[in-house]
Amino acid sequence: MRKLASLVLGLSLLLSFSPAKADEGMWLLSLLKKQNAAEMQKMGFKLSAKDIYDINNNCMKDAIVGLGRAGRPFRHFCTGEIISNQGLFLTNHHCGFPSIQSHSTTEHDYLADGFWAYDKSEELTNEGITASILVRMEDVSKKVLSKVNDEMSEEERYTAIDKISKEIVKGAEEGTDYKASVKGMFEGNQYFLFIYEIYQDVRLVGAPPQSMGKFGGDTDNWMWPRHTADFSMFRIYTAPDGKPAKYSADNVPLKPKHHLPVSIKGVQEKDFAMIMGFPGTTKRYLTSYGLEETMKITNQNRYDIRTVKLDIMMKEMLKDPKVRIQYASKHAGSANYWKYSNEQNKALKKLNTMGAKQEIEDEYNAWATKKSKRAAKYGDALKMIEKAYADRKEIRYDMSYLSEALLQGAEMYMFSLKSTGLMKKLSAEKKDEDAIAKNVEGLKDAAKAFYKDYNKVVDQKLMAALFAKYAENIDVEKRPDIFKVIAEEYNNDYEKFAADVYAKSVFASEEAYNKFLENPTADAIANDIAFKIGNSIYAVYMAGAGEMNKGADQLKKGKRLFVDGLMQINKKKNLAPDANSTLRLTYGTVGGYSPKDGVYYNHYTTLKGVMEKENPASHEFKVPAKLKELFKNKDFGQYADKKGNLPACFLTNSDITGGNSGSPVINGNGELIGTAFDGNSEAMSGDIDFEDNLQRCINLDIRYTLFIIEKYAGAKNLIEEMTIVK
């Protein structure tokens, strides 16, 4: 968003995130009453800030679920919303995709056929998935920042903040079953404590077939008009006493403090709509120097490399149903940000975001240097940032290629490094046979999980192609040592080298690896070609990480001072901190948009559009026979609109990003009207520069969701759990 803000000091600062506007900002719930409630009510919100966030009474925040993984529960990858008094919650199909894939086999292909539990006994457990519900949040900035001063180095500052943060977390968790985390905001200028209940038994309840849940595939991803039934359903279970617990047959469905009523009244243009969820990362305060790195290195390299990777995977997936299931989640996860990177670069160029950022910096410098005392503290901030990005430009490019092409390319050689611990135990002077046996058993479990979704042919092709891609773009002297072997012994024939690796390595197949584990030796591991490859790549990664860290302190300091300055300039305005996987609220209205001259997109789509897009020759646009039959008969039940059509998706101008996937779209009465699942390609610059005229959130209409559950799947047991508002 680009608006001219009048400043008390007489300066004009063109801020891409200022002044605050209803359709921009990922707002902290504890500050809603002060910052946003009045504006929300003017727009059609009929409740109060306490109905959203209240630490003493049940409220809407108690129905919002952050999906995470064991070991990283605070890094929420998606959002869900509880819609029954039995812990049933909705999220996106692409959020549930890894779980659906993990349960799928060629005999029970839940990806192709969908999955529905018609009784709780049929629900499927998902080890490693967590569901977090916020208990409360607290501004702890004074406590944290009281321990730092301007004379400290960044390392000293980090150490002090880390120490007091751990003390705060310990105090918050003590005597409870809660888990807590202190998160920095505004580049370390504010700190908030978040306290959660984290549930560890999350079971799959329902999902439509992939042809509906991913309708349109990569072609329609980030695009409007959209017709994707992007939803899946899970249930949270607890111990019999209601406390979080790992899976047990004795566990019972969660009794939530609040669940969202579900409205089938529909949406109209200009209706108020708000979204609550766990947005992952935005970079609204990014400088022009960081923007250049994002566009020219991060986005461009990711797109170029993943184009090769995705093409190989898809070709093999289309050949073999087993491979399709094995690589479905990997392909989907890689493809999402492959397209995002390309579309974001297009939008950033078209909207001249670089020019906007440079104007911000010019005005910031004018403010920072106006007074000598201010200049002493803030005057060099942008110079620090500029130098840090310039110094790391070369290594950042190299590390980007290493990460995308080698670390995240073929999988077998990186899996081989899991045997490092066993090799060390086997080579010890005094062998601990019990420890060795325990390590072997652990590796057998790891192998079972790894090889389940591994195909030797696919992995070999990925290695050959991505090693070649890496070599094309990285200078010889910067490559891992294994590339010398490829040059000297294989004359840079990457296909021949890969064929040799997968023919000789004990890690190339589950059978070979399990046979090796029957009588493992340290020499066999150390001399295995895959193990050598993995270590060679890892050595370059560690060296590169060290180089990247050299300027990290100055970059961190420069960013902190720059954002601190912007906050002071705009101290009379409400500014939202960047997203960082903590619970936020964003609000706006339902509405269409004009992407270019002479074109206007309506705010909604219907099932008719699914039929219009159908293409049996494309794996992305297939339509199940039963859905076509329901459409032909107009058998939409109570979910049709006033014209007799079945709504599919709708648009709001809400401010979302990754992590918001699955977030509830809530009307002015606090009722669920849809689930957020995507942004529009024309405004893919939004994570960096919110463009209020273009930015739209693509949402699945709850009526399409309920129609599929009831009419397509016949899962009326799930409908009966919900509180339906007509």
Catalytic residues: 94, 230, 661
N residues, the chain: 726
**Residues 47 and 226 sit within 8 Å (Cβ to Cβ):** no
Look-up: residue for tokens 């990480």?
Answer: 545
φ, ψ of residue 112 in degrees (nearest 5): -80, -35
Supply 97's token pair: 């995709």
Whole-angstrom Cα distance, residue 188 to residue 285?
Answer: 13
Instruction: Identify the helix (H) or strand (E) that includes residue 82.
Output: strand 78-82
Whole-angstrom Cα distance, residue 495 to residue 468?
Answer: 9
φ, ψ of residue 507 in degrees (nearest 5): -90, -5
Going by the DSSP 8-state scheme, the letter that residue 592 receives in this structure is -
Look-up: residue for tokens 């490693």?
Answer: 128
Burial of 440 per CB tally in 10 Å (0-12, 13-18, 19+): middle
**Residues 76 and 581 sit within 8 Å (Cβ to Cβ):** yes
Nearest to 233 by CA among 726, 724, 708: 708
Return the number of other C-beta atoms located less than 10 Å from residue 14's C-beta.
17
Beta strands 232-238; 201-207: pairing state: antiparallel
**What DSSP letter does each residue of 660-717 carry, written as one string?**
-TTPEEE-TTS-EEEEEEEE-GGGGGGGTS--TTT--EEEEEHHHHHHIIIIIS--HH
Nearest to 592 by CA among 703, 701, 697, 704: 697
Supply 696's token pair: 């739209």
**Residues 209 and 96 sit within 8 Å (Cβ to Cβ):** no
**What DSSP letter does each residue of 5-35 carry, written as one string?**
EE-TTS-EEEETT-S--TTS--EEGGGHHHH
3-state secondary structure of 620: coil
> How would you write 264-286 as a 3-class SS string?
CCCCCCCCEEEEEECCCCCCCCC
Whole-angstrom Cα distance, residue 174 to residue 165?
Answer: 14
Supply 479's token pair: 């490559």
Supply 579's token pair: 């997203």
Going by the DSSP 8-state scheme, the letter that residue 590 receives in this structure is B
**Residues 620 and 217 sit within 8 Å (Cβ to Cβ):** yes
Nearest to 96 by CA among 113, 115, 82: 115
